[in-house]
Amino acid sequence: MKIYKLSSVVDLFDDTTTGIPTYDDWLQEPESDDKSVQVQYVPPKQYIEDIGNGFWNASEMPKQFFNTYENWMGEGISERTSKQRIDEIKTWVMQGNKFPMLIIHYDENGVMKFQEGHHRAELASQLGIEKIPVLVITEK
């Protein structure tokens, strides 16, 4: 199990669970004819850019709203990840809690169907965490 340390006493991520039963089942049995399931370790900003690109693929909004970390977290989009929510998460982590890994689920055309974790990715970025565990599901 890989746990990413904030300090010598506080852990941030647990890469053995997503916290969502269906995805945890897939994590335990990743071999499937209809999907690819793998854990990847990516920089937090890359995760945010990946989900931004996924939202662009699934929406009619112009890509420039989502395609970079700065656009996702910057003016006009910042309400998606509010400072208040990030502060709540920081408090929760400082109480010794660990997060399940993040998720990106793509359909067979590469369009994002589901994501879970952009607040955690932003927190990891703010804390200088270099890589975060992400369960990536790609339907075949």
Assess whether pLDDT exceeds 80 at residue 11: no
For 12-44, how does the pLDDT look when each residue is reduced to its tens digit (9 = 90+)? 888 899 999 999 999 998 878 999 999 999 999
For 75-119, how does the pLDDT look when each residue is reduced to its tens digit (9 = 90+)? 444 444 567 777 777 787 778 788 899 999 988 988 888 899 988
Q: How many CA atoms lie within 13 A of 79 on its CB side?
A: 1
Question: Full-prediction pTM beyond 0.85?
Answer: no
Q: How far apart (Å, rounded) are the C-alpha atoms in residues 18 and 15? A: 8
pLDDT band with cut points at 50, 70 and 90 for residue 61: very low
Q: How far apart (Å, rounded) are the C-alpha atoms in residues 115 and 54? A: 9
Q: How far apart (Å, rounded) are the C-alpha atoms in residues 45 and 125? A: 7
Specify the pLDDT at position 54.
64
Q: How far apart (Å, rounded) are the C-alpha atoms in residues 89 and 80? A: 14
Specify the pLDDT at position 2.
45
- Pick from 103, 112, 121: nearest CA to 40: 103
